[in-house]
Amino acid sequence: MLPLALEFPPVSHVTEWPSIFGGDGPLAVNKVVILMWISVALIFGLFMVAGRARRLVPQGAQNFAEAIWDFVRDGIVLQTMGPEGLKFMPFLVMMFCFIFVTNIWEVIPVAQMPVNARIALPAYMAVLVWVIFNFMGVLKQGFFGYLKSVCFPPGVPKALYILVTPIEFVSTFIVRPLSLSVRLFANMLAGHLLLVSFIVITAALFTVGPSLAIWPVSFGLLVALTGFEVLVAVLQAFIFTILTAVYIGGAMHPEH
């Protein structure tokens, strides 16, 4: 048997980073926080440059920013919330850009750590979405009207409400934020671990001997998976934003 130096690092080694400054407490600043700051600066810079000299015929950065705006408006807001949702455009565009940039660090050399592979950021964003859609629901329908439209969906036989009401209540107020955050977090963590696994396998096979026939296979798969992770980063940003739009739209317009 070949002496494979195959040692997978434990999960804590690839997701927990030592503090750079700020001590070891809750205010510690590590690689993940720095990447988050860079993401914010990148998005802020892009939209500042795009908005500084607005032209009728967009060029350069303005062109790029308008393409993102159009994508979110036509692909997400108009399809799920209708024209009334357009006032949420700034929030949703920023959310899409922020999630995408924090995800894409997964495949950028040197960084190679998706910020959303730590649950803090997805959980925070899910709580933010939860607060916003409940606030909009209460604002549009009143507190008891909103609670009624959530717990008693119309078109259900009266006797079934014993079953439907607890399910609807739990799924709207507890499962929604939980699944929203866990979906983003688990997708990014799984992708990160997948890439780490294939890097470890490729490195182990390479030390055994580059002439080994299966080494290029695992290396090729690593390259292909890196491309796949770019797709996942876009898709997760898209899904998080579209679910936000669906939740807010659903709270504003109850089913009749």
Partner 1 sequence: MELLQVLAQQEPGELAEGLTAVGRGIVYGAAAIGPGIGIGIVVGNAITAMARQPESAGMVRTTMFLGIAFTEALALFGFVLSFIVAG
Residue 238, interface with partner 1 (CB under 8 A)? yes
| Shorter beta-carbon distance to partner 1: residue 182 or 212 | 182
Site string for partner 1, 142-181 (x = CB under 8 A): -------------------------------------x--
Near partner 1 by CB under 8 A: residue from 89, 147, 182, 230: 182
Q: Judging by beta carbons within 10 Å of its beta carbon (0-12, 13-18, 19+), is residue 10 exposed, middle or buried? A: exposed
DSSP tag of 113: -
Piece of 201-209, 210-218, 220-228, 241-249 that binds partner 1 (CB under 8 A): 241-249
Q: Which residues contact 153 (CB under 8 A, 6 or more apart)?
A: 164, 168, 255
Q: Is 75 in the site for partner 1 (CB under 8 A)?
A: yes
Nearer to partner 1, 62 or 118 (CB): 118
50 or 115: whose CB is closer to partner 1?
Answer: 115
> Contact between 254 and partner 1 (CB under 8 A)?
no
Residues whose CB falls within 8 Å of the CB of residue 184, separated by 6 or more in sequence, listed in order: 99, 116, 122, 125, 236, 240
Instruction: Kindly state whether residue 185 participates in binding partner 1, applying the rule CB under 8 A.
Output: yes
Of 147-155, 160-168, 221-229, 231-239, the segment contacting partner 1 by CB under 8 A is: 231-239
How far, in Å, are 106, 134, 141 from residue 109 at the CA level? 8, 40, 49
Q: How many residues bind partner 1 (CB under 8 A)?
A: 19
CA dist 115 and 8 (Å) reads: 21
Q: Which residues of 105-128 are buried (b: 16+ CB within 10 A; e: fewer)?
A: bbbeeebbbbbbbbbebbbebbee
CB count within 10 Å of CB 159 equals 8
| Cβ–Cβ < 8 Å for 181, 125 | yes
Counting contacts by CB under 8 A, is residue 88 touching partner 1? no
Residues that bind partner 1 in the complex, under the rule CB under 8 A: 11, 75-76, 79-80, 179, 182-183, 185-187, 189-190, 235, 238-239, 242-243, 246
